[in-house]
Amino acid sequence: MHIQVEVKKQVASRGRTFSLDVAFASESERLVLFGPSGSGKTMTLLLLAGLLTPDAGRIKVGDRVLFDGPKRVNIPARRRAIGYVPQDYALFPHLNVAANLVFGLAPRWPWGLGQDDRGRVEEFLEIFELTHLSTSLPRDLSGGQRQRVALARALIRNPQLLLLDEPFSALDALLRNKMRRELLKIQEHFAIPLVLITHDPEDVAALAQTVVCYGQGRVEQILPATPDCCRVRGEAGIAPWASILC
């Protein structure tokens, strides 16, 4: 899927100002935004999802223009057909696993949930190996199980794009490797492109097809995630941390 992002956004908090000014485009099915904390990666994801509004610019996903400043186009988040999984998964602590999925499918639950929707919830519980946990609350789940619930909830409405913010940061090293493999299987099963945030080079090595390297609110480099990326090591103008991609 073609993704085009050209956005500017300035935010101020507690006397500090952060300015984001990024532009990139990709045809990759797995696009990774890579860079240190505080460089603007999460803000970019929020702008893509429609949870923040750019000050200026343009966002296009596939053949849909989601935001265009000059033309005053700004598609609401609920109509963007984008699934978003934040870093903390944002599961509802008072709802069990099945109810979290139901909410993703029908936020007005329990009203208006038809038999087809109930069948879809059961299908997703099975796909994500959560059927035996359907009545469990998030506090009773492991980190990997909570992640699967969050992914299932994001995908149950059949989005065109999946956004993941540091999906493995809360997991231990062994579980991270397992969940990377599971994420690849999930993406293949649903045939959905994804944009993933990380500052872990192992995530890049396992998942990326294209890497957008961030630094201080700017895009430093756009690299194919292949052995050829090693040729940028030591070249002038490359951020020092970019070399760890190789």
Cα 82 to Cα 61: distance, rounded to the nearest angstrom: 10
* Neighbouring C-beta atoms of residue 171, cutoff 10 Å: 18
- Average pLDDT on 229-244 reads 40
Per-residue pLDDT band for 226 (boundaries 50, 70, 90) equals low
Q: Which residue has the tokens 């020092």?
A: 240
The domains of the chain are located at 3-81+160-245, 91-158
Which of the residue ranges 104-108, 111-115, 140-144, 190-194 would you say has the lowest mean pLDDT?
Answer: 111-115
Mean pLDDT of 68-96: 95
> Band of the pLDDT at 112, cuts 50, 70, 90?
low
Q: Average the pLDDT over each of 57-61, 65-69, 157-161 and give the range with the smallest value.
A: 157-161
With a cut of 70, say whether residue 232 has pLDDT above it. no
Tokens representing residue 111 in the block: 């009203």
- CATH topology for 3-81+160-245 is Rossmann fold (3.40.50)
pLDDT at 172: 81
What is the model's pLDDT at position 13? 83
Q: Please, what's the b/e burial string for 11-40 (b: 16 or more CB within 10 A of its CB; e: otherwise)?
A: eeeeeeeeebbbebebebebbbbbbeeebb
